[in-house]
Structure 1
Amino acid sequence: MSEAVSARPAYRDLPLLDEGSDYRHAWEFWGKGDPLGCLNDITPQARARGLAAVRASEVVNVTLPLTLPDPPLFGRGAYTHTVFPPSKRNFVDEKVDGLFPQRSTQWDGFRHLHVPGHGFFGGVDVEPGRDLDTISVHHWAERGIITRGVLVDVSARIRPALDAAPDEPVAPVEAEELRAAVAASGVEPAPGDLLCVRTGWMAHYLEADAAERERVARRATWPGLSGSAEVAELLWDWGVAAVAADNPGVECSPGSRAAGSLHRRLLALLGMPFGELFDFETLHRRLGEAGHNDFLFVAVPLNLPGGAGSTGNAVALI
C-alpha cells in the first residue's frame, strides 16, 4: 500500500471468508503480505490532524509499568530484572529475562492470531523463528503509530456493574452503544485515527487490593466490545487505523458464539491492530478538564523482527 491510501470499500462490500459465514476480510484490498493493514491509513494528513489536536503540549503517559498486572494475566509469568554492580570503569549493566512483550500494556500484532485453514492476516503462512519479516511487528516500528487519538468513554454503565459483581460477565458494548459514546465525545473518527475505549476495567483494577488482583489473574472475565459483525462494520467504515482499550482484550470476555470473535474480525481479517491494557485514567481526567476528547497519540512498537506483539510504548499529547 502506498502512503496515499485509496478509499476503503464499505464493510458490506468486502468478500466473505467462507460461504455461509459473516466474517469478511480485506486481504485483497491491502494486498497479500502487507505488514501494516489499517495502519496504512495513518497518512501525513492523519498525523497532521493529530498534531492539530494538541492544545497545551502536555504529555500524558498511557502505558502501565512492565510490573503490572501483577500477578501477570494469561499465565505469561513475571520477568526477571538483574542489575549488575558497577564495572571497573564504573558503568552499570542490566538484563531482563523472561519478558513477554504482551505481558503489560501491549499491541497485538498480525502474527498473534492464526485463522485455521486460511493462515494469518492476508492469508499468508509464517514459519516462526525462521521467517523474521512477513507481517512482523517490526514493520510498525519503522513509522510508529503516530496519529490523532479519540477517547470514548463507555464506563458509566460498565463500572458500577463491574464493582458490584466483578466475577460476573458484563453485557458487551454493542455497535449502537459505541456509536452513542463516540457522539458523546464530540469527535467523529476520521480515517487513520486511533480509537481509545475506556471501559472502566483499568480503574477497577488499579483500585483493587492484592486479593482482588490475584482473583483477576485467575479468571478470564472482563467487559469490552462485542465481537459482532456490526461492531467490526462500524470501526471499519469509520476508517479507524487501530483500536486500543483499557481492558485485557478489547473485546469482552467471555464472548459468545453468536456474536463471534472481534480478534478474528478486526486483527486477522481486516488488519486493524489491537492495543490492550492501556491506562487512560489520567488522560480521561485531563481531557475532561481541557474540554476536548482528541489528542496526539504517539507509540513506537518494538523493532522486533519476527515479533507477534509488542509492549505499548505510548504517550498522549493533549
Structure 2
Amino acid sequence: MKRWTRRPEGSTWGDWGEDDQLGRANLLTREAVLRGVAEVREGRTFCLSLPLDYPGGSLLNPRRTPPELRPTQRNGRPNMNYPLRCDDPTALDIVCDDQVLLTLQYSTQWDSLAHVGQMFDVDGDGRPEDVYYNGFRANSDIVGPVAYRDDGFMTPLGAHKGAQRLGVENMAAACMQGRGVMIDLLAHYGRSGKLIDYDDIRRVIDADGIVIEPGDFVLFRTGFAQALLEMNREPDVKTLFATTCALDGRDVRLHQWVTDCGAVALIADNYGVESVPPRPCMDDFCAMLPLHAHCLFRLGCYLGELWYLTDLADWLRANNRTRFMLTAPPLRLPGAVGSPATPVATV
C-alpha cells in the first residue's frame, strides 16, 4: 500500500522514488563532489564547529542541555588516569576512557528530514495526518514512546524507537560532501538584526558574484556564532537575536528561491537559519517553523545550525572567493533525528 497519493504542492516527494529517504542528498552525485574538489587550491582547512559545550547553559533552548562528560567505570572505579598495575603489578600503563550524555542538537548540528513534519492530507480523504518528508508517518516510521492525540492526551507505545526512516544515519552514509557556497550576510548587513528576505539575498548574490548550482551546500554567515564565543558560555539571548540576521521564513519568494537553486542544505551560524520565532502569520493555520517546513518537509533540503563560519568567511572575503569544498557528515547514529557535526571546509 502506498504511503501517499497526494504530495504537498511544490514538494520533491517521489522524485527519487517512493521509498527515498535522502531527499536532496541525491544531488550529491560524483559530479557534484568533484565540483567541491575543484575548489581546493591552497590545501588549507577550516573547522566549522563550535566547541560542543557552546552556547552554554539552556537559555537558548530549555529542552537542550550542555554535554555531560564523565569517565567510564573499571572495577567500580573511575577509568581516568587508571593505573593498570591495580589489576596487574607488572603493567606500566595508565588509561583514560570516557562517555558523554549529549543533546544531539545543542551546538553545531544537522537537522535530519525526521526533525520537522506537518499535518497533511496524504490520502485525499479530507483527514490530515502527521507525516514527514516523502509521506513517512509519525508513530510508525518515526516512533517515540507515546502517540499524541488531537485532544492532547498520549497513548503509550512502549520503548522509544526513534526515526526508523529518515534518520541521520542516511545522511552519514551519503557523506554530505561537496561544494559549499558562502553568502556573507554579516559583511553586507552587519550586526543589524535584519530579517533577511529574498531581495536581501539577491543583492548579496549579485554584489559578490555568487553562483549556486543544484547539489551545492549554501551557507549564511550572520555573526551569531562569533557573538556566542565572545559571551563565553553565558549567552545574552536578547542581544544575540537583536543584533544578528536570520532568514524570513514566511517570505514565499525566498521559499521559491530555495526550490529553484537546488541546494542540498541551507546552513547558518545562527540558531535556526530562519528567524525564531517567525513573523506573525495571518492565516488560520500556520507552520511555526515555516522555512523548516518548506525545506525538511517539502523539499528534502537539510538544515545546519550554529555552525562556526567566522574564520572561513573572513578568509574567503579576503581572497575574493565564495566557494570551497565542504565535508560534513553527521554521526552515524541509527534512529537519531539530529546530530552534532564537525564540518571541515577546504580551500
Smaller-chain TM-score bracket? 0.7 to 0.9
Q: Which residue of 2 aligns with 1:184?
A: 207
Q: Tell me the secondary structure at the aligned position of residue 34 of structure 2.
A: helix
Q: Residues 233 and 208 (structure 1 numbering): CA distance in 2 closer, same or farther, change over 3 Å? A: same
| Residue matched to 1:35 | 21
Q: Is 1:307–2:336 an aligned residue pair?
A: yes
For 1:74, the aligned partner's letter is N
Residue from 211, 217, 230 that aligns with 1:207: 230
Q: Does residue 167 of structure 2 align to residue 136 of structure 1?
A: yes
Tell me if structure 1 keeps the 8 A contact 2:223–2:244: no
Tell me the distance in 2 between the aligned counterparts of 1:160 and 1:193.
Answer: 26
Alignment of 1:69-148 (within 5 A): 69-72=55-58, 73-75=60-62, 76-83=64-71, 84-85=79-80, 86-88=82-84, 89-97=93-101, 99-116=102-119, 117-125=129-137, 126-128=142-144, 129-130=160-161, 132-148=163-179
Unaligned regions of 5+ residues in structure 1, if any?
A: 1-14, 18-22, 162-169
Q: Alignment partner of 2:178: what SS? A: strand
CA distance in structure 1 between the aligned counterparts of 2:15 and 2:199, rounded to whole angstroms: 27
Amino acid of the structure 1 residue aligned with 2:219: C
Contact 1:222 1:248 in 2 (8 A): no
Partner residue in 1 for 2:195:
172
Distance 1:220 1:29, change over 3 A: farther
Secondary structure of residue in 2 paired with 1:74: coil
- Please name the residue that 1:193 is paired with: 216
Amino acid in the other structure paired with 1:94 = D
Aligned partner of 1:3 in structure 2 is none
1:282 equivalenced with 2:344 (yes/no): no
Q: Secondary structure of the equivalent of 1:310?
A: strand
Residue 29 of structure 1 aligns to a residue whose secondary structure is: coil
Distance in 2 between residues matched to 1:272 and 1:131, nearest whole Å: 20
| Kept in 2: contact 1:31–1:122 (CA 8 A) | no
Counterpart among 139, 158, 182 of residue 151 in structure 1: 182
Deviation at 1:127, TM superposition (A): 1.9
* Pairwise CA RMSD: 2.4
Deviation at 1:221, TM superposition (A): 9.2
Equivalent position to 1:225, from 247, 251, 258? 247
Shift of 1:68: 0.6
Determine what percentage of the aligned residue pairs are the same residue: 29
For 1:24-52, what per-residue CA distance to the aligned partner results, in whole angstroms no more than 9, with x for missing partners?
32213233432210111011101100000
Distance 1:276 1:189 in 2: 20
Letter of the 1:79 counterpart: P
Alpha-carbon distance in structure 2 between the residues aligned to 1:121 and 1:54? 34
Question: Alpha-carbon deviation of 1:92?
Answer: 1.2
- Asked if structure 2 preserves the Cα contact closer than 8 Å seen for 1:195 and 1:240, the reply is yes
C-alpha spacing 1:189/1:77, structure 2 compared with 1 (3 Å): same
Q: Give the TM-score taking structure 1 as reference length.
A: 0.83
Please name the residue that 2:276 is paired with.
253
Contact 2:188/2:204 (8 A) holds in 1: no
**Alpha carbons 2:47, 2:342 under 8 Å: kept:** no
* Kept in 2: contact 1:151–1:185 (CA 8 A): no
- Greater share of residues in helix: 1
Q: Secondary structure at the match of 1:184?
A: helix
CA pair 32-215 structure 1, distance change in 2 beyond 3 A:
same
In 2: Cα distance, 1:240 partner to 1:136 partner: 20
Change (3 A) 1:284 1:221: closer
* Distance across 1 between alignment mates of 2:231 and 2:169: 35
C-alpha contact 1:220 1:254 (8 A) present in aligned 2? no
